[in-house]
Structure 1
Amino acid sequence: MQKARADRPVRNPPLDSAWHAEPPDAVIEAFATRADGLDPAEASRRLASQGANELPAPPRVHPLLRFLGQFNSSLIYFLLLASVAAAMLGHIIDATVIVAAVLINAIVGYVQEGRAERALDAIRDMIAPHAIVLRGGERHSVDAREIVPGDIVALEAGDKVPADLRIVRARGLLADEAILTGESVAVEKRERRVPADAPLGDRFSMLYSGTLVATGQAIGVAVATGAQTEIGRISALLSRVSPLTTPLLKQIDHFGRLFTWFAISMAAIVYAFAVLFRGYAWVDALLVVVALAVGAIPEGLPAVITITLAIGVQRMAARNAVVRRLPAVETLGATSVICSDKTGTLTRNEMTARRVTTASGETLVTGSGYAPDGVLESGSPSEEARDRLFLAAHLCNDAEVVERDGQWRVVGDPMEGALATLAAKGGLHAETIREQWSRIDEIPFDARHRFMATLHEGPGGQRRVFVKGAPERVIGMCRAQAQDGSETAIDMDDWSARIAHAASQGERVLAFAEMPARPDTERLSFDAVQNGDLVLLGTVGLIDPPREEAVEAIAACRSAGIAVKMITGDHVGTAAAIARQLAIADDPVAVEGREIDAVSDDELRGLVGRVSVFARTTPEHKLRIVRALQAEGHIVAMTGDGVNDAPALKQADVGVAMGRKGTEAAKEAAEMVLVDDNFASIVAAVQEGRTVYDNIRKVIAWTLPTNGGETLCVILAIAFGLALPMTPVQILWVNLVTEVTLGLVLAFERSEPSVMRRPPRRRDEPILSRFLVWRVVLVSLLFTAGVFFVYEYAMRQGLGEAAARTMVVNTLVVMEIFYLFNVRYLHTTSFSLIGAMGTPAVLGAIAAVVAAQLAFTYAPFMHSLFGSAPISFADGLLIVGIGVALMVVLEAEKAAMRRLMPSALAA
């Protein structure tokens, strides 16, 4: 490595420089600095040359242009056309509803883009505001933005790391790197270099900007600042990720384009035919055609879709999932793969002692969390070595477990809290033991020595040393092992096998030992402990146990055809063991991040289908995994809580951030936030999302055929030179009275029983499936037949044109009511108690429609407005009978479809 000249500003080296693999002296030399820091004048020159230690702000689009950009879609043009058509006929309510829906969609999109910008702001704010640096041999407190490459930075417990640092000196150093790696346990840091190809989570000689110093002290040389840091690279990734258009918006956009051209073409053809071949005056023909267009265009559909999504948002919020973008509700229902982090989402984020191993045997411990509830499962109810281990676990421990508001919580390190709970399950009372065994001295945990030791005075004045730490370290210091009340030689092969077995189950293993101390011992030293008379008591395997509800939720995902992928920064053995316990797959396959680096994007597309666990991953890995899944046609939901998750959260079809332990950057990049950080809440949200899409399909399945029936009646009347069965103003009345009532209630429907037993729909599945197209044609024809039958019946009975048209309007409305009951259940029969009773929303809407139709039929002022006339009770029964016949025919069709073409109903 070439030495940089001290009289020349040093360029910030590229981020891929393997500083973690270089010795500290070489790094200091490379940056032309000294152990006592840069000269202040040199630091100023580098600041002017390199720029401030902050992330660059992205270019901003003017708010007005960003808002106007929300209207640039064919769906919006389609809606505005419908609004103009409605306004031309003085149909102000419909026009107002359409414009309101357009504005709501534009405002939601505008707000979401603003949140994406704030996601970058949240990452920039994670750089520490102040830091201690050595310059010219003196300590200075400087604004973190003034740190330059080559600065010597001093850190203590609780400090936020201000730049990427190569550690020069460390003492008892643990760093919380969860925002970058997702690993739940603080990582030991040390000066020794590590291999150049070590993944981010294993670069023990580095501290990264935005992470926290959990314990200890450190001196490090700044090797990257601003955009060149790891967190800067994540910010750059995030800025390059373009948010995806949701499947629903794509489908509605495509539907809007097709239907707009269809409606315009149909109106033009009918207008020309009416004027040229049927002798209509051009004004009368225009009035009919505009009414026909309003009848054909489902102008209330976008508003109903928006309301349906909003109702889904409310229901998800009640199930601990807060949706920040309306279309994400439906997209979640289409999810085919859920990529989830491990800690706190699939697991409890509460360390639990699961296995106690002594030379005499093994004891499994039940219970989870920090509550002292559980039993010891072993062949021996009492064992001396195990009981002594419990005492050591309780005394060689700085944590405390307390009960507050019915919840047991740990004050201190989670692993030590789990050991305190283990001692309580073993029968030790915390306050009594601490009174009997007073602590005299201690050796805190140190990453260099990898153990902790405490000196206690117990009953009768005896003094004893208790030790806990890494198994290989503690066992290597012991001269013997405790077994059956005596001491025997240590069987290293046996202990290695036991430790390996525990690790294969995803457990983190700690070893415990003890030794007597002289009565006059007042101080502990490393030499006295390492070269003393230690006796091995045994090991404890700790694990962050899976959430019970997550096990059930994953089973529900698998039955619904949704694959679950675990993407974590944790070790591959731990992640694979948790995956097996969760039954993510029949035989979960696990790979590490370095294996992802070794394959191309095309090869990764084949890999992601087979692999269920991705361990030791970086932000780039997560982003590549999500893109590979999307390239295979999957709709991907991604969960995360750290800054390292933000790019993948933004790339995913639905980003799901953790509400409790999630960073602001993750929450701003996500479409949904889980209040309880629980995977089961994701599955509940998927169910609500599927219900929302079902309800949108039901709205379309109800709206298009009813509008189609009205339209077809008019077209056939003009085509065959018949009298119009309804006047244009009566067509508008039907649209007004039904679309704001019956068309809306389907948004409130609950989940059908089979909603989580169906496979997810394809990304390219059209909103008008083959079944819906068939339904539009069939129901339109049935409506048309009913209308002409009633009109012909009334005219043959000599009731007159006004009464005949009144019967037609009532027939249309009644058929729409009965068809509503049929369409409420697309996948099951509507001939059931639940199906017949209806929801309060359905019954309220029907009551409102019936009241409106009674006024239409019998109120004199309505007769003058709409040209209606009263009809007899017997004619009313005939109309109701037609509605019943329609429902019977459609239920028979539905039953035949379920039997002969079950996939058609699901499509």
Structure 2
Amino acid sequence: MHKDQQTPDTLPAYQLSPEECLLQLQSDEQGLSQLQADQRLQDTGPNRLPVAAKEGLLKRFFKHFHDILIYILLVAAGATALLGHWIDTGVILVVVIINATIGFIQEGKAEQALAGIRKMLSQRATAKRDGDWQEIEAEHLVPGDIVRLRSGDRVPADLRLLECNNLRIEESALTGESMPADKNTETATAATSLGDRSGMAYSGTLVAAGRGLGVVSATGSATELGRINRLIADVETLQTPLTRQMAQFSKILSVVIVGLAGLMLLVGILLHDFALSELFLAAIGFAVAAIPEGLPAILTITLALGVQRMAKRNAITRKLNAVETLGSVTVICSDKTGTLTRNEMTTRHVVTAAHSYHVSGTGYAPEGEISCDDDPIKAAQRVDLDALLETVAIANDSRVEATNGQWQVIGEPTEGALCTLVHKAGFEAHNYQRIAEIPFESDNKFMATLADTPDGERRILLKGAPDRLLERCRLQLDANGNTRPLDPTWWEQQLNQLSGEGLRVLAAAARTVPVSKDTLSIDDLDDLVFLGLIGIIDPPRPEAIEAIASCHAAGIRVKMITGDHAGTAEAIGREMGIGTDADPKVISGAEIEAASDEELARLAQTCDIFARTSPEHKLRLVKALQATNEIVAMTGDGVNDAPALKRADVGIAMGIKGTEATKEAADIVLADDNFSSIAQAVEEGRTIYDNLRKAIMFLLPTNGAQGLVILAAVVLGMVLPITPVQVLWVNMIVAVTLALALAFEPAEPGLMQRPPRDPGAAIISLVFLIRIGLVSVLIGAATIVVFQWQIRIGTELDMARSTAINTLVIAQACYLFNSRFLATHSLNPALLFTNKVAWLTIGILLLLQMAFIYLPFMNTAFGTTPLALQHWLMPLAVGIGVFLVIEGEKWVWQRLR
């Protein structure tokens, strides 16, 4: 255990006074000596979080062989090698290696893309060593170091604060609360939640305003970030719905294939006079024919194509199956701050005694306008508005500026919102000169300045908490710039109305003083004129509101799980359309803490807004939803979201404002932090699942037909219509051409109006099982009949087999058009050319098949022979017949429904 970690004899730093904390850490306000720091660094280790071990290249490559169907193919490859049939061995291994290579390359691309948007934690810190302030590497900090904090700094370790000068720290990454926290040196109790520990500064958070001094109480894995990191490591991840379905499907299919191969061996030995080596090779050929070895490759390719399409929409997928899983989600749990909202404070309303103003636009960009009764207003047009804007512009220590096209606040976020308001109103603040000031302090909750105006007046300008300003005012300003007696009751009503909308409310006040006055004290802040109220909020992303509506239309519930206060969460939730009621119920973290697992499962199902939650609460909610068979996606940007992201069926992190831990825990990273990308990914995931079912519906009956040809020949004691190596050829070219075409199918109409699919339902329904059997028998029987007819009319064996192979290939090409639409008729001319890749792959297939039939070296390798034109007509007739029969079967099922 590190020395900085808690033991039974110690208390957490937040429960100790500054003096007690220094004593416990064996330090003082002069800091450590370099010798002491070096010794402690050896004991505690560097101040950094442990980096998750990356899988080696070989492990990443060979894990793509972990599939029961692939294992059977590898056994078949070994058996053919022992028998000396090297071509068979080579073809089997090529198919297997191609599948693994595709998955390996795609995962590597996803990791590279993710690495490009990772953010680093604080790298430098100002610490007192040997009595002098020094700038050192943050990873060299140790418990007991004295660290100085200034506005704009990232806190480099967990600190027990010793001194605070208007210190405010933005802790949303840890707490989910959108507003910066006021800091002081007070001691907290054991029951105090993380967001309310005002005497602590936590690693990775950002100093929004003021200055501070603190002693390092924890570093590296012992910090609050480290605790969450350990929580992430302990979270158990679940298999995705597709992984579970495909694993179950593969097991059943493997048992059936191996059982039939064994039965074929017994029949061949007991009923027919087959040579054992020939019979064994036929059994291997049957297994290879019946196994859809192209399925893992098609699965990988289909998912990879979905990943690439999502990357173009700024969604970087770290795991191939994550997009498909997102297509099956029934619930999306989302953090609020920075995910559903912009994490950029914005002024919404300005209320003066004369007028109520609405402010449009979101974020720190000065885009939008101030309006009154729907009419755009500039500051100079209204005396009451101009006076209020003068106060919030001059009594302000922050600014907003554009960096690389992105508007950012330099300073405190709430003051940044006021700066943007001033820009929107066209108020000119540069001709004012500040004479004196009283900085914001948490005890007073206001900031005051003494400034000269361009008109030559000297004025006291005050902004801060409404209750603190109202008690210092006797007058209020009317529409003409005249003063009237203050109406406290009316202002309380306006304050309650704005607060009820989830807004943070500030007030402004001022008074003119003699130009000879050049100092400012608290005693001067009386008999002020109250100017009005400003309502500020971290606004919802407009695109997120649309995305939530799209998810609701798709039958997906959206739940907000935030560390922010209940009132703010309720207001944002109502505005975004989250919750089934006009007055949605909000569940607090304390209620989650007190609830049993059974009670929490009920709350998770019936409520959609959860406030003041900790990382453990978010994790419990995700588990509670999964316990009721929900498929859960979790989105977030803070470290406090990471454990729940890892546990969720799909974890989605914000790429720009998301923390490193969040991105590591996530399956998908949104490079543009745009929640609407999630709705697009749901559509993409549903399309992928449809296309995978189409691929399965295509591969199974075509493989079934190939296996049936060999099985029937052995059982009936016939000459094999197709040799095992010829079956491998058909498998390979069909898998890399026809089946691949189905991965490019566009989304079917009405896809996002369907309810989520049942995660427990089988991937193949009874109707599709009947179709698989029907197609297998149709194509298999037609191939045997064509071969037998060719033999009866005296055709040589190689030519008969070549004709039979053409029959098998062309029938499968025709069946591809049936498979493009699982229930809809494929004869619709409007849908015939919606997938041009299908036509391209058929062209490639025909070229490969002609090479197979006509090139001499292919004839030698595969035992084929050139065919005359008439030998192509019967296979073509069979293919058209199969297509028409299956279209008829679709029509029958539609009539029955």
Q: Shorter chain as normaliser: what TM range?
A: 0.7 to 0.9
Q: Note if 1:719 corresponds to 2:718.
A: no
2:477 alignment counterpart: 482
Counterpart in the other structure of 2:867: 870
1:388-787 to 2 correspondences below 5 Å:
388-401=387-400, 410-426=409-425, 428-430=426-428, 433-435=429-431, 437-485=432-480, 486-529=482-525, 532-587=526-581, 588-787=584-783
Q: Which range moved further: 165-174 or 319-328?
A: 165-174
Confirm or deny: 8 A CA contact 1:131 1:162 kept in the other structure.
Answer: no
Structure 1-normalised TM-score?
Answer: 0.87
What is the CA-CA distance between 1:631 and the residue it aligns to?
A: 2.1
What letter is aligned with 2:232? L
Structure 2 unaligned spans of 5+:
none
- Confirm or deny: 8 A CA contact 1:43 1:148 kept in the other structure: no
Q: Relative to 1, partners in 2 of residues 1:53 and 1:476: Cα closer, same or farther, differing over 3 Å? A: farther
User: Displacement of 1:720 after TM fit?
Assistant: 3.3
3-state SS in 1 of match to 2:563: coil
Tell which deviates more after alignment, 369-378 or 863-872: 863-872
SS of equivalent residue, structure 1 residue 837: coil
Match of 1:295 in 2: 289
Amino acid at match of 2:316: V
Q: Tell me if structure 2 keeps the 8 A contact 1:340–1:639.
A: yes
Q: How far apart in 2 are the matches of 1:744 and 1:94? A: 18
Q: Mean alpha-carbon deviation: is it higher for 834-843 or for 41-50?
A: 41-50
Cα 1:713–1:129 change in 2 (3 A) is same
Contact kept, 8 Å, 1:36 with 1:134, in 2: the verdict is no
Match of 1:809 in 2: 805
Q: Deviations over 1:531-572 (max 9, x none)?
A: x33111111112232222212211111122222122222222
Residue pair 1:199, 1:594 contacting (<8 A) in 2 also: no
Aligned ranges 1:300-379 → 2 under 5 Å: 300-369=294-363, 370-378=365-373
Return the offset for 1:828.
3.1
Deviation at 1:860, TM superposition (A): 7.1
Deviates more, 1:519-528 or 1:553-562: 519-528
In the TM superposition, residue 580 of structure 1 has moved relative to its aligned partner by 1.3
Q: Report the CA distance shift for 1:700/1:455 in structure 2 as closer, same or farther (over 3 A).
A: same
Question: For residues 213-257 of structure 1, what are the alpha-carbon distances to aligned partners after superposition, in whole Å with 9 as ceiling and x for unaligned?
Answer: 232222345554554432221122122124433333333333333
Distance 1:609 1:197 in 2: 28
Return closer, same or farther for 1:308/1:499 CA change in 2, 3 Å cut-off. same
Q: Which amino acid aligns with 2:463?
A: K
Tell me the CA shift for residue 470 of structure 1: 1.7
Cα deviation, 1:272-308, whole Å, max 9, x if unaligned, reads: 2112202222232223222222111112221222222
> Which range is displaced more, 44-53 or 82-91?
44-53
Give deviations 1:152-197, integer Å, cap 9, x for gaps: 5543334443443343431110112132123343221123455653
Give, in angstroms, the shift of residue 797 of structure 1. Answer: 6.6
Output the CA distance in 1 between the equivalents of 2:746 and 2:760: 26
Deviation sequence 1:302-337 (CA, Å, 0-9, x none): 122222221111111011101122222322222222
Q: Which residue of 2 aligns with 1:819?
A: 815
Rate the CA distance shift 1:264–1:511 in 2: closer, same or farther, 3 A: same
Equivalent residue number for residue 163 of structure 2: 169
1:888 matched to 2:884: yes
Shift of 1:742: 0.9
| Counterpart mapping for 1:786-805 below 5 A | 786-791=782-787, 804-805=800-801
Q: Report the RMSD for the aligned CA atoms in angstroms.
A: 3.8
Aligned to 2:831: 835
1:344-365, CA deviations, whole angstroms, 9 ceiling, x for partnerless residues?
3222333322111122342223
Shift in alpha-carbon separation, 1:480–1:46, aligned structure 2, 3 A: farther
Give me the whole-angstrom Cα distance separating, in 1, the residues matched to 2:620 and 2:239. 19
3-state SS, counterpart of residue 87 of structure 2: coil
Taking the aligned partners of 2:221 and 2:132, their CA distance within structure 1 comes to 28
What is the rounded CA distance, in whole Å, between the counterparts of 1:350 and 1:89 in structure 2?
65
Q: Is the Cα–Cα contact under 8 Å of residues 330 and 690 in structure 1 kept in the other structure?
A: yes
- The code of the aligned residue for 1:648 comes to A
CA distance in 2, matches of 1:576, 1:899: 49
Q: Which moved more, 1:788-797 or 1:624-633?
A: 788-797
| Counterparts in 2 of 1:895 and 1:580: CA distance versus 1, 3 Å | farther
Q: CA deviation at 1:696?
A: 1.8
Q: Residue 174 of structure 1: SS of its match in structure 2?
A: strand
Q: CA deviation at 1:821?
A: 1.1
- Paired with 2:879 and 2:559, the residues of 1 have a C-alpha distance of 49
Aligned pair partner of 2:278 in 274, 284, 291: 284
Query: Letter of the aligned partner of 1:753 in structure 2?
Result: P
**Could you tell me how far 1:790 is from its partner in structure 2?**
4.0
Aligned equivalents of 1:188, 1:872: Cα separation in 2: 86
Quick check: 1:247 aligned with 2:241?
Answer: yes
Cα distance per residue 1:748-788 (max 9 Å; x no partner): 22222233222333444444444443332222122234334
Secondary structure of the corresponding residue to residue 343 of structure 1: helix
SS in 2 for 1:308: helix
Q: Specify whether residues 650 and 96 from structure 1 end up closer, same or farther in structure 2 by C-alpha distance, changes over 3 A only.
A: same
For 2:690 and 2:785, the matched residues in 1 are separated by 33
Rounded to whole Å, the distance in 1 between the matches of 2:109 and 2:248 is: 24
Q: Distance in 2 between matches of 1:735 and 1:185?
A: 61
Q: Distance in 1 between matches of 2:770 and 2:578?
A: 39
Q: Which moved more, 1:875-884 or 1:479-488?
A: 875-884
Question: Which of 275, 278, 297 does residue 269 from structure 2 map onto?
Answer: 275
- How far apart are residue 679 of structure 1 and its match? 0.5
Change (3 A) 1:224 1:598: farther
Aligned residues: percent identity?
A: 42
Q: Secondary structure at the residue paired with 2:231?
A: helix
Alpha-carbon distance between aligned partners in 1 of 2:79 and 2:577, rounded to the nearest angstrom: 56
Query: 2:87 pairs with 86, 90, 97, which one?
Result: 90
Match of 2:841 in 1: 845
> Which moves more between the two structures, 96-105 or 620-629?
96-105
Q: CA–CA distance in 1 between the matches of 2:8 and 2:336?
A: 31
Q: CA deviation at 1:862?
A: 6.1
* Equivalent in the alignment of 1:156: 150
Q: Judge conservation of contact 1:78–1:256 (CA < 8 Å) in 2.
A: no
Distance 1:565 1:860 in 2: 65
The letter of the residue matching 1:850 is L
- The 1-side partners of 2:830 and 2:10 are apart by 63
What amino acid sits opposite 2:96 in the alignment? I
C-alpha spacing 1:49/1:575, structure 2 compared with 1 (3 Å): same
SS at match of 1:608: helix
Cα–Cα, structure 1 residues 19 and 302, in superposed 2: closer, same or farther, change >3 Å?
Answer: same
Going from structure 1 to structure 2, the CA distance change for 1:374 and 1:525 (only over 3 Å counts) comes to same
Structure 1: distance between partners of 2:795 and 2:288: 29
